[in-house]
């Protein structure tokens, strides 16, 4: 199945030239990235000692312009990135070439990927897919036994509606209007139940919260807005 529905794919396709503009449409993702990478690195260190990410086979699903793939590659992972947007993949390939990074990018349907991976990341994607259960099952099928799946998304709360949609999209315009559908946001308990029904074990749930004091995104216990989730596939 397609990673995003047709309208969402067209929406992100139209924004593809902004992927590496830290003050553009994807500026919030750039700001979140250090905390997101820290979470992924912690999962890799915990479940793949002693090397962690080094030489680990990683698949980033919904990679966009490569803003997660590149730091993971720099940390030593063997990275493949896939996305439904052809334009985003072209941007990702060009930027990786500029940075002298070897990353395998493809505009490819998740179901058609032949290989399986030790670590799969899928960040800010699940809230855009048409059928989450089918998509989640496709992710699980591409994960090796003993592997880890890392997801990030938004909780379906009044706060996420007020801040994530009204505030971010309509008031501050930090996120383009139409990026999110609040009805597709998923509560942490719902996400954990879904992944556990597919045979995975929930190993970590952490909030991704903005600190106005430090002016940065931080990992924490508050799951009311953005959050990250780690899941383990038994051997």
Residue-wise pLDDT for 72-107, tens only, equals 999 999 999 999 999 999 999 999 999 999 999 999
Which pLDDT does position 195 carry in this prediction? 98
pLDDT (mean) for 55-83: 98
- Report the SS3 class of residue 146: strand
Which pLDDT does position 1 carry in this prediction? 38
Entry pTM: 0.88
> How far, in Å, CA of 76 to CA of 56, rounded?
8
For helices 86-98 and 6-13, give the axis angle rounded to 10 degrees: 40
Find, among 123, 150, 140, the residue nearest to 63 by Cα: 123
Which residues make beta-bridge pairs with 88? none
Which pLDDT does position 135 carry in this prediction? 97
36 pLDDT above the threshold of 90:
yes
- Angstrom distances, CA of residue 192 to CA of 52, 132, 195: 24, 13, 5
Instruction: Supply the CATH classification number for the domain 6-233.
Output: 3.40.50.150
- Report the SS3 class of residue 47: helix
Per residue in 2-20, pLDDT tens?
444 554 555 556 567 789 9
Strand ranges (E), the chain? 57-61, 78-82, 104-106, 117-123, 143-154, 200-211, 216-220, 226-233
pLDDT (mean) for 208-220: 91
Locate the domains of the chain by residue range: 6-233
- Angstrom distances, CA of residue 177 to CA of 71, 169, 180, 199, 226: 28, 5, 8, 36, 18
Which pLDDT does position 25 carry in this prediction? 79
Query: 10 Å Cβ neighbour count for 199?
Result: 12
């Amino acid at each position: 199945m397609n990673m995003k529905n047709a309208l969402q794919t067209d929406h992100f396709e139209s924004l593809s030239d902004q992927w590496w503009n830290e003050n553009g449409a994807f500026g919030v993702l750039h700001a979140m990235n250090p905390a997101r990478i820290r979470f992924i690195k912690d999962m890799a260190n915990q479940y793949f000692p002693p090397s962690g990410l080094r030489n680990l086979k990683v698949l980033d699903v919904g990679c966009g312009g490569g803003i997660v793939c590149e730091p993971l590659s720099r940390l030593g992972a063997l990275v493949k990135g896939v996305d439904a947007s052809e334009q985003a993949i072209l941007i990702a390939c060009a930027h990786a070439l500029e940075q002298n990074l070897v990353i395998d990018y493809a505009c490819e349907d998740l179901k058609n990927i032949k290989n399986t991976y030790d670590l799969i990341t899928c960040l800010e994607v699940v809230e855009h897919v048409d059928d989450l259960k089918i998509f989640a099952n496709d992710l699980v099928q591409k994960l090796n036994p003993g592997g880890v799946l890392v997801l990030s998304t938004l909780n379906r709360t009044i706060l996420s509606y007020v801040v994530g949609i009204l505030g971010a999209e309509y008031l501050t315009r930090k996120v383009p209007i139409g990026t999110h559908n609040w009805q597709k946001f998923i509560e942490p308990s719902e996400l954990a139940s879904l992944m556990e029904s597919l045979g995975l074990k929930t190993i970590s749930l952490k909030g991704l919260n903005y600190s106005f004091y430090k002016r940065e995104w931080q990992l924490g216990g508050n799951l009311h807005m953005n959050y990250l989730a780690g899941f383990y596939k038994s051997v």
